[in-house]
């Protein structure tokens, strides 16, 4: 019996060791995990300082200040943000969250650490002086930049594809810290790059960075929720689920319209100089401050909008007032975006969702307005950012109760169906591309051959054959006259020509001139489409004036070594 017990004990012990060993990460992962934790901690500290300076030092004093300063401050903030970005950031753009998504999709992402102080200072100026944008934009940018810079410092121990993992881990830490919602940070960082997909390969680094960023942040500033939506008064019923579906429909339409308006506001940069945009934007924001002060007895158009949700939560309000508040908040956010403000759209979307939920709940006469505010947040945020799981998780973490999750899921799902492919994010892709799609999305210059030998139009066919086709083993050669492309000439063009005529026939007389010419700005997909349409495996490349640059061959596009290099780590 003792021998049997010893045998069983030994087997159990070995099984336990094997079980523990199964959780051990791959050999390349320990360095990545350590760097993810360090990145998260650094981002948590950075975001804590950014929020304190923005909210406690500037915005809080602004809201307690005189009305004239509240009206003038947004214009001052916009002008200060532009000045900071231009001179300290050396021409940096006001984009924040969009920069993370753009960098994620680039083969060689670039987020200069030198621009980070300027972006954060511009965010402080914009939001701290009343601009209607969220703190999460600069926080995501800070996280992604720190993650990218960490990879640059320790690149010798990491593989190339791990650049995007640290990029995503840093972004997750930024969201986790600024909202005090670590799970939301992970999911947002994975959902943001795509409309209908997630960046699943970065899950583990994002978890590590999000957890460490959250812990460091709350150790400094505490765990008070960013938006207090109130409590749910009772159990769920079919009415609540139906209300979630209704809010999903309303918020989906609203989020779709708001995303379109945001794109138009961003496009104003190409239409009007910055001085004009700041003057007009400052005047509009000043007018909104005066209007909200007159109607609500407080300037609810200022800042990210937390005060607007408190106003909704603390009193009984008419549908007219709630509708006015929604209009003022939408105009304030669009104006700040159009005038070049630096900040995010996550919290403005969430606030608009809370207002929409309050409106629908009030219109239906329900006593449980808190639930409808929460469902509106999930639906509007999910529709605007095309991030439904993020929206539901934000609701779960912010409210601290599971009662909201199921109706929030329904609201977010319906809003996705109604919102279509619209999004406030500029660089989102629909989904992760496959091997061929990624290859074809590369610029044509990645497969361009510029050292191609050419033949002049006054060369004879004999010279073409013996010097080019046989001597250099070419099937087809570009015909170029003084640098200007004329056509293509090769075996196919001379196949009907008698051998005796080779010495007397010039290349220009048989050259094929109907092939399209590619441009350096094309993608490989454009080139492949033209090759297929014209039944050729070679395209000449010229500039807009017809000057010959080189050729693109189908074989170069499909070279195996380049495919493997492009898809390393997929």
pLDDT in tens, 475-503: 788 888 888 888 888 777 777 777 778 88
Residue 220 class from Cβ within 10 Å (0-12 exposed, 13-18 middle, 19+ buried)? middle
Please, where in the chain does CATH 1.10.3080.10 lie?
29-221, 238-431
Residue 430 has what pLDDT? 56
For 211, the token pair is: 């957890």
Architecture of domain 29-221: Orthogonal Bundle (1.10)
436-566: CATH architecture: Roll (3.10)
- The single-letter DSSP state of residue 96 is S
According to DSSP H, which parts of 113-237 are helical?
Answer: 116-128, 136-153, 162-179, 182-191, 203-221
Instruction: Write down the pLDDT at residue 570.
Output: 38
3-state helix, strand, coil in the chain (%, to 5): 65, 5, 30
* Cα(247)–Cα(265) distance, integer angstroms: 26
Asked if the model's pLDDT at residue 360 lies above 90, the reply is no
Q: What is the reported pLDDT for 440?
A: 61
pLDDT in tens, 160-175: 566 678 888 888 888 8
What value does the mean pLDDT take over residues 529-544? 82
354, 372 in Cβ contact below 8 A? no
Report the distance separating Cα 434 and Cα 100, nearest Å. Answer: 21
- Residue 235: exposure state from Cβ atoms within 10 A (0-12, 13-18, ≥19): exposed
pLDDT in the model for residue 117: 92
Predicted structure pTM score: 0.72
- Which two structure tokens, joined as six digits, stand for 284? 């509009």
Indicate whether 125 pLDDT > 50: yes
Locate tokens 């050396």: which residue?
Answer: 90
CATH assignment of 238-431, among 3.10.350.10, 3.40.640.10, 3.30.70.360, 1.10.3080.10: 1.10.3080.10
Least confident piece of the model among 99-103, 272-276, 283-287, 350-354: 99-103
Domain with CATH 3.10.580.10 in the chain: 436-566
Going by their DSSP bridges, the two strands 548-553 and 448-449 should be labelled as: antiparallel
Whether the CB-CB separation of 145 and 113 falls below 8 Å is answered with yes
Phi, psi of 345 (to 5 degrees): -115, 0
Higher model confidence: residue 464 or residue 85? 85
CA separation for the pair 425, 193 (Å, rounded):
9
| Rounded alpha-carbon distances, angstroms, from residue 433 to 43, 193, 429, 567 | 30, 12, 9, 11
Give which of 257, 263, 262, 255 is closest to 383, Cα–Cα. 255
Any idea which of 118-127, 203-212, 251-260, 552-561 has the lowest mean pLDDT?
A: 552-561
- The label of the residue with tokens 């992760």 reads 432
Region 389-403: what's the mean pLDDT? 73
């Amino acid at each position: 019996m003792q021998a049997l017990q010893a045998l069983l004990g030994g087997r159990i012990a070995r099984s336990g060791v094997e079980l523990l060993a199964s959780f051990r990460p791959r050999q390349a992962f320990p360095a990545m995990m350590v760097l993810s934790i360090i990145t998260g901690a650094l981002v948590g500290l950075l975001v804590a300082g950014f929020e304190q300076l923005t909210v406690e030092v500037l915005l809080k004093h602004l809201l307690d200040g005189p009305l004239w300063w509240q009206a003038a401050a947004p214009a001052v903030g916009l002008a200060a943000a532009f000045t900071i970005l231009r001179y300290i950031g050396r021409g940096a753009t006001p984009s924040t969250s969009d920069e993370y998504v753009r960098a994620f999709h680039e083969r060689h992402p670039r987020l200069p650490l030198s621009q980070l102080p300027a972006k954060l200072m511009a965010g402080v100026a914009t939001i701290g002086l009343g601009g209607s944008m969220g703190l999460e934009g600069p926080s995501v940018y800070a996280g992604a930049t720190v993650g990218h810079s960490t990879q640059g410092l320790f690149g010798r121990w990491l593989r190339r594809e791990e650049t995007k993992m640290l990029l995503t881990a840093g972004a997750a830490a930024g969201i986790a810290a600024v909202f005090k919602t670590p799970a939301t940070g992970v999911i947002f960082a994975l959902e943001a790059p795509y409309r209908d997909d997630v960046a699943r390969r970065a899950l583990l680094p994002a978890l590590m960075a999000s957890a460490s960023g959250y812990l460091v942040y709350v150790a400094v500033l505490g765990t008070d929720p960013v938006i207090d939506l109130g409590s749910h008064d009772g159990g769920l019923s079919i009415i609540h689920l139906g209300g979630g579906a209704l809010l999903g429909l309303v918020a989906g339409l609203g989020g779709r319209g708001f995303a379109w308006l945001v794109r138009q506001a961003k496009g104003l940069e190409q239409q009007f100089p910055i001085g004009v945009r700041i003057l007009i934007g400052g005047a509009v924001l000043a007018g909104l401050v005066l209007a909200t002060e007159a109607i609500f007895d407080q300037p609810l158009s200022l800042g990210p909008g937390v005060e607007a949700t408190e106003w909704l939560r603390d009193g009984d309000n008419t549908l007219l007032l709630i509708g006015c508040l929604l209009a003022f908040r939408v105009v304030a956010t669009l104006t700040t975006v159009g005038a070049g403000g630096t900040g995010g759209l996550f919290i403005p979307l969430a606030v608009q969702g809370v207002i929409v939920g309050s409106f629908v709940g009030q219109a239906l006469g329900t006593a449980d307005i808190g639930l409808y505010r929460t469902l509106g947040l999930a639906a509007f945020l999910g529709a605007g950012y095309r991030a439904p799981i993020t929206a539901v998780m934000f609701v779960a973490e912010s409210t601290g109760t599971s009662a909201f999750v199921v109706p929030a899921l329904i609201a977010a799902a319906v809003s996705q169906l109604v919102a279509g492919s619209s999004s406030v994010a500029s660089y989102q892709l629909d989904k992760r591309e496959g091997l061929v799609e990624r290859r074809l999305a590369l610029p044509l210059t990645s497969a361009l051959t510029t050292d191609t030998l050419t033949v002049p139009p006054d060369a004879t066919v004999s010279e073409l054959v013996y010097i080019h086709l046989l001597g250099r083993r070419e099937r087809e050669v570009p015909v170029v006259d003084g640098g200007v492309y004329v056509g293509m000439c090769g075996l196919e063009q001379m196949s009907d020509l008698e051998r005796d005529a080779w010495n007397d026939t010039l290349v220009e007389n048989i050259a094929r001139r109907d092939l399209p010419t590619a441009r350096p700005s094309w993608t490989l997909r454009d080139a492949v489409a033209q090759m297929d349409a014209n039944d050729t495996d070679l395209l000449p490349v010229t500039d807009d004036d017809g000057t010959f640059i080189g050729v693109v061959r189908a074989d170069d596009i499909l070279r195996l070594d380049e495919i493997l290099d492009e898809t390393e780590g997929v």
